Amino acid sequence: MISEELFKRLKVGWVNMQIKEVATFDAISLGEVMLRLDPGDRRVRTARSFDVWEGGGEYNVARGLHKCFGLNTSILTAFADNEVGHLLLDLIAQGGVDKQFIKLSKFDGVGRQTRNGLNFTERGFGVRGAVGVSDRGHTAVSQLQPGDFDWEHIFGSIGSKWLHTGGIFAALSPSTFEVAKTAMQMARKHGTKISYDLNYRPSLWQSQGGIDRAQEVNRELSKYVDVLIGNEEDFEVALGLEISGVDENYNSLEFKAYEEMIKAAAAKFENLQAVGVTLRTVKSASNNGWTGIAWSKEQGFAHGKMYENLEIFDRVGGGDSFASGLIFGLINQFPIQEALNYGLAHGALAMTTPGDTSMATLSEVKKLASGGSARVQR
């Protein structure tokens, strides 16, 4: 006898992503992992102590897929071989993400040649927005070269159903763009599905050709992508796709405008099988509107539930948690609406706790995705 949940999926239909059936890993992320220093409810400029978390746009997805959704994941990255690097390794171990593909680079004792990235981030509250100050020059991960990994072994012998990377990693240096491109080409060769989060960061591009170079890089990498992910502004600034009727502050976000944008993306990149976009309106640092839209080649568009007044504790990593929820749904070939619901619920829950990575459970995601409330659990 089939469950009610399975019956609903059979009735609506699956998104057939043609996922590999046999692989060691469900998903591998390629990207930067930084040490986040969090002053809690204080400000960076006046703090006397910090909590530390590990975090990075691509890594957060792998961690969420493992910690919340129970998938077997790994991370491709690099650290300077010093005490900070080993702290990051320990934090990754606590998150349950496999570490075998982490490259340790010789530390010169000072950090002139190679170091580990630091990210000082305060959460913001009310009318005071969140502030992030990254210290990531000359990091080990930014110096990665395409030949630093045995791609044939990773995707051919070991195998992964999914590869996730993004625009933050691609923006770290000219060589990381080449690493991302090589990884995507080898993943496609071995039937691994690829997701890419545009994750546009102006600070990473300002010394590397600005928005023009960012669009050039993202357009090139998007040619290899199965699932393209971004927020309300990423597609416009990172790919140059027009979104009609949206003001410069993104205060009014209409589904119809984003449907047209997604149609343009799908026409430009015929390799795309699915697209996911988060739509956030900022009422204050601690109160956001939160929803999203998704599309699959087979099932068309899905519109997300509007979390009208989502109370934010720490917004960092909300988009990454959306990505991991969406990917979980697609790996399991859920209908596109259900995959979108999981992504939005996971992202919403992640922003209720501190740190870059999600502390949500799968049961909490399922409950919120299906319309559950925040009533006390006894």
Quick: pLDDT tens for 101-139: 999 999 999 999 999 999 999 999 999 999 999 999 999
Q: What phi and psi, each to the nearest 5 degrees, are found at residue 105?
A: -100, 145
Whether 192 has a pLDDT exceeding 80, the answer reads yes
Q: Give domain status of residue 282, yes or no.
A: yes
Q: Give domain status of residue 374, yes or no.
A: no
| Band of pLDDT at residue 9, cut at 50, 70 and 90 | low
Number of structural domains the chain divides into:
1
Beta bridge partners of 229: 197, 276
Supply the pLDDT for residue 96. 98
Whether 171 has a pLDDT exceeding 60, the answer reads yes
Token look-up 């109160």 returns: 287
Average pLDDT, whole number, for the chain?
94
Mean pLDDT of 300-316: 96
pTM, to two decimals: 0.94
Q: Compare 20 and 178 and report the one with higher pLDDT.
A: 178
Pairing of strands 27-30, 73-80: parallel
Token look-up 């959704």 returns: 69
Supply the pLDDT for residue 112. 93
Whether 319 has a pLDDT exceeding 60, the answer reads yes
Mean pLDDT of 187-191: 97
Q: Give domain status of residue 267, yes or no.
A: yes
Token look-up 């290899």 returns: 224
Q: Give domain status of residue 195, yes or no.
A: yes
CA atoms within 13 A on the CB side of 38: 22
Q: Do residues 19 and 190 lie in contact, with contact meaning Cβ atoms separated by under 8 Å?
A: no
Separation in Å, CA 237 to CA 124, 199, 218: 25, 10, 10
Supply the pLDDT for residue 252. 77
Q: Do residues 275 and 229 lie in contact, with contact meaning Cβ atoms separated by under 8 Å?
A: yes
Q: Give domain status of residue 377, yes or no.
A: no
- Three-point CA angle 150, 153, 156, nearest 5°: 130
Print the domain residue range for 253.
Answer: 4-369
Instruction: Kindly report, residue by residue over 20-69, the tens digit of the pLDDT.
Output: 989 999 999 999 999 999 999 999 999 999 999 999 999 999 999 999 99
Q: Do residues 168 and 204 lie in contact, with contact meaning Cβ atoms separated by under 8 Å?
A: yes
Instruction: Kindly report, residue by residue over 85-106, the tens digit of the pLDDT.
Output: 999 999 999 999 999 999 999 9
- Determine how many CB atoms are found less than 10 A away from the CB of residue 63: 29
Q: Give domain status of residue 325, yes or no.
A: yes
| H helix count then E strand count, the chain | 13, 14
The helix-helix angle for 174-189 and 210-222 (nearest 10°) equals 10
Q: Give domain status of residue 284, yes or no.
A: yes
Q: Give domain status of residue 378, yes or no.
A: no
| Band of pLDDT at residue 373, cut at 50, 70 and 90 | confident
Supply the pLDDT for residue 1. 44
Instruction: Kindly report, residue by residue over 352-362, the tens digit of the pLDDT.
Output: 999 999 999 99
| Percent of the chain topping pLDDT 70 | 95
Supply the pLDDT for residue 277. 98
| Percent of the chain topping pLDDT 90 | 89
Q: Do residues 87 and 40 lie in contact, with contact meaning Cβ atoms separated by under 8 Å?
A: no
For residue 358, the Cα-to-chain-centroid distance in whole angstroms is 12
- 95: CATH: 3.40.1190.20
Q: Please name the amino acid found at residue 226.
A: D
